[in-house]
A = this chain, B = another copy of it.
């Protein structure tokens, strides 16, 4: 069955995201150094984020709350409120960061939208993702937008069944093996993995745990139209 619907992830697939988290986390390390020189800030923050995930979900507000909690904990409450105000300010700055597109995104979306129905499927904070999409200038290129609280087999199934799309007609493009590839392939649809240079630990999965078939890997989004042409020509299995 030929592919009819392409869906793209947003963060680190269409626009830069993890870089902002990474830089902010670096600033947090530097800030906490003077209060708790021996603290393993990265691991403590990650542990806090994971402990909070089922309460907070994904996104910048959740990250900000977890940074504040980590800062208070690793300094045993010694951090002054003025430094916590600095952390609050970082969260606000991240929320206002311009949506900076990856190279070739606009051209690639324009090209594939001539032959396929093109959707955006992102996960995270509804308000923040809508705002990023609005600032991206890409909104008009999508025939549908879905912002999910998490990307699982079930959440993908709901999205495509509500739109009357068969798994065989659906292809997901994204940077996360955990969120954009694994659940999609398990659903019986296809996926394209385009790695970003940074991956949040939570999104990491061992490649050995992935199915051998049903997904492809590209170095950059500009190669997507070529891959789709070769799939449509019958070369259905990866590489």
Give A77 to B149 CA distance when docked, in angstroms: 35
Interface residues of chain A, those whose CB is within 8 Å of chain B, are 52, 55-58, 61-62, 64-65, 68-69, 71-72, 75, 77-82, 84-85, 88, 91-92, 95-96, 125-128, 130, 147, 149
Residues of B within 8 A of A130 (CB): 149
Give A137 to B126 CA distance when docked, in angstroms: 23
CB distance A62 to B65 under 8 Å? no
Partner of A77, one of B57, B72, B81, B92: B81
CB distance A127 to B88 under 8 Å? no
**Cβ contacts A to B, 5 pairs, < 8 Å:** A57-B127, A61-B65, A68-B84, A72-B81, A77-B85
Partner of A79, one of B68, B78, B81, B96: B81
Most chain B CB within a 10 A radius of its CB, from A80, A84, A95, A127: A127
Residues of B within 8 A of A78 (CB): 81
CB distance A72 to B55 under 8 Å? no
Residue of B nearest to A88 (CB): B69
Give A85 to B147 CA distance when docked, in angstroms: 31
Residue of B nearest to A126 (CB): B126
Most chain B CB within a 10 A radius of its CB, from A77, A78, A147: A77
Residues of B within 8 A of A61 (CB): 56, 61-62, 65
Residues of B within 8 A of A57 (CB): 125-128
Given contacts A57-B126, A64-B65, A127-B56, contact A81 B75 (CB under 8 A): yes
Give A88 to B48 CA distance when docked, in angstroms: 13
Residues of B within 8 A of A128 (CB): 57
A88 shortest CB reach to chain B, Å: 6
Given contacts A61-B65, A82-B77, A85-B72, contact A55 B92 (CB under 8 A): yes
Give A96 to B56 CA distance when docked, in angstroms: 10
A182 shortest CB reach to chain B, Å: 21
Residues of B within 8 A of A52 (CB): 92
Residues of B within 8 A of A125 (CB): 57, 125-127
Residues of B within 8 A of A64 (CB): 65
A66 shortest CB reach to chain B, Å: 10
Taking A55-B95, A55-B96, A72-B88 as known contacts, 18 extra A-B pairs with beta carbons closer than 8 A to each other, sorted by chain A number, are A52-B92, A56-B61, A57-B125, A61-B61, A61-B62, A61-B65, A69-B85, A71-B81, A72-B85, A75-B81, A77-B81, A77-B82, A78-B81, A80-B81, A125-B125, A125-B127, A126-B126, A130-B149
